[in-house]
Amino acid sequence: MPWPIPPRPRPVYPVYPGYPSYPDYPGYPGYPVVDTVKDLLLTVEKTGDPRYTSRSVRLGCAPVSGTHPDAGGACAVLTPAQGDPARIVPLPWMVCTQVQDPVRATATGIWNGRYIQFERTYSNPCTMRRATGPVFSF
């Protein structure tokens, strides 16, 4: 007969003055993450054309809101990426031409209590849409 496996001892965490006891403290790593503010300011500008004015929209994802034309689609893409456009998985089936029409995309804001600051220049609008999906499609 095999020996029974002893239970694991619970870790002991220090108690800091002024903080609530540990599993109830939101900063504790095991504390469940609650959806908080998910609000971004998205901007697109063409860097090769001085006559082109930049466009900006606001995107809120908890609840879906803002001036983005496809806010639901953008939130659906940003949620698995934790609000960071750099972590979006590019569309594998989309093929873009090699036309040089540089476009700069920026995103700044708050996502679940974390500050997001993203800026990237793409060779053309198609490569931007391939890399970010509907996030910067406005």
pLDDT tens digits for 57-100? 999 998 899 999 999 999 999 999 999 999 998 888 888 888 99
| Structural domain spans, the chain | 34-132
Task: Give the single-character DSSP code of 70.
Answer: T
What are the tokens at 136?
Answer: 């910067």
pLDDT band of residue 6 (cuts 50, 70, 90) is low
More confident: 35 or 102: 102
Q: Which of 34, 60, 137 is nearest to 94 (CA)?
A: 137
| CATH code, residues 34-132 | 3.30.350.10
Mean pLDDT of the chain: 81
pLDDT at residue number 19:
47
Q: Is 132 helix (H, G, I), strand (E, B) or coil?
A: helix
Range of lowest pLDDT (20-29, 82-91, 125-134): 20-29
Average pLDDT over residues 17-23: 48
Q: Pick from 35-39, 48-52, 117-121 the range whose average pLDDT is largest.
A: 117-121
